[in-house]
Amino acid sequence: MKPAELSALTTEAFRPELADVDRLPTAEIARLMNAEDRSVPTAVTGQLPRIAAVIDATAERMARGGRLIYAGAGTAGRLGVLDASECPPTFNTAPGQVVGLIAGGRAALVEAVEGAEDSAELAAEDLAALELTPDDTVVGVSASGRTPYAVGAVEHARKAGALTVGLACNPGSALVAAADHAIEVVVGPELVTGSTRLKAGTAQKLVLNMISTITMIRLGKTFGNLMVDVRATNDKLRARSHRIVALATGAPDDAIEAALRAADGEVKPAVLMLLAGVDAPTATRLLARSGGHLRAALDTAR
């Protein structure tokens, strides 16, 4: 990208009023930064209808076996990898069901990989390895909306027939123009000129939180606001599983522990056993019939 093109981006704009920010007391800089951050949720609010449309379209495809795939470079790529990596322990997603691709691969999570973000071809290669289907959703993430890796990912995915989403923090970008769905969270210039890990990064994190979390709610991964598909892989999560069953059922501790043991530690069948008065095999069968939706399984049992 040429310097003139960079300076035209909202996220790269220079703010003369902050030219002496380094001379200010630390507490004043913190106040300024906090005030800047408060503007981010408002910017996201303006995109809620578009975000909801993306979630509904994604959930519909994932219910048919599709995947949610994020693709980005630098901070945007790291945020996608972070969101994807948190889905298995939180929602017990299957391996590869939510994927984060970052330009340059795993090494780029901790250090810059020279030239990786400038390669649309690299994005196409990374996605080709996943063998995309029309039921997959690919979300290109880029603060500028011009990162070749993110744009290339969306272009390749669209040619493959997958649903495509462009998430950017500048209006009218090449990324959103290439995608089926456009999400433009325009947060304005950064406190430190061009440091898009700040407001732009926060905006991207908020949107990715919404896409993954609400998609999982639509897929029946929660019961109300309880994480009934949590994967109990450590003591904290085992304690959380017990508490979730308690909140969902109001059952005594001994009954909860018995149900969790019978359900091999899985929360959904344990809740169904306690609320519907069925045994573990029946709970498992009812959940399978309902596509994993606990409320539907309860309605059937009752």
Q: How far apart are CA 182 and CA 30, in angstroms?
A: 33
Q: What is the pLDDT of residue 208?
A: 98
pLDDT of res. 221: 95
Fold classified for 7-218: Rossmann fold (3.40.50)
Choosing among 1.25.50.10, 3.40.50.12280, 1.10.8.1080, 3.40.640.10, the CATH entry for 235-301 is 1.10.8.1080
> Domain segments of the chain: what residues?
7-218, 235-301
Structure tokens at 263: 């359900």
Q: Is 190 a catalytic residue?
A: no
The pLDDT value recorded for residue 49 is 98
Note if 86 is an active site residue.
yes
* From 12, 117, 155, 184, the catalytic residue: 117
Catalytic residue among 12, 28, 60, 86: 86
Report pLDDT for 114: 66
Query: What is the model's pLDDT at position 44?
Result: 98
Put simply, whether the predicted model's pTM sits higher than 0.95 gets the answer: no
Burial of 119 (0-12, 13-18, 19+ CB in 10 A): middle
What contacts 24+ positions apart, CB below 8 Å, involve 231-234?
Answer: 231/88, 231/89, 231/92, 232/265, 232/267, 233/89
Residue-level pLDDT, tens digit, the chain, 302 residues? 565 566 678 888 788 888 899 999 999 999 999 999 999 999 999 999 999 999 999 999 999 999 999 999 999 999 999 999 999 989 999 989 999 999 998 888 888 776 777 789 999 999 999 999 999 999 999 999 999 999 999 999 999 999 999 999 999 999 999 999 999 999 999 989 888 999 999 999 999 999 999 999 999 999 999 999 987 888 998 999 999 999 999 999 999 999 999 999 999 999 999 999 999 999 999 999 999 999 999 999 87
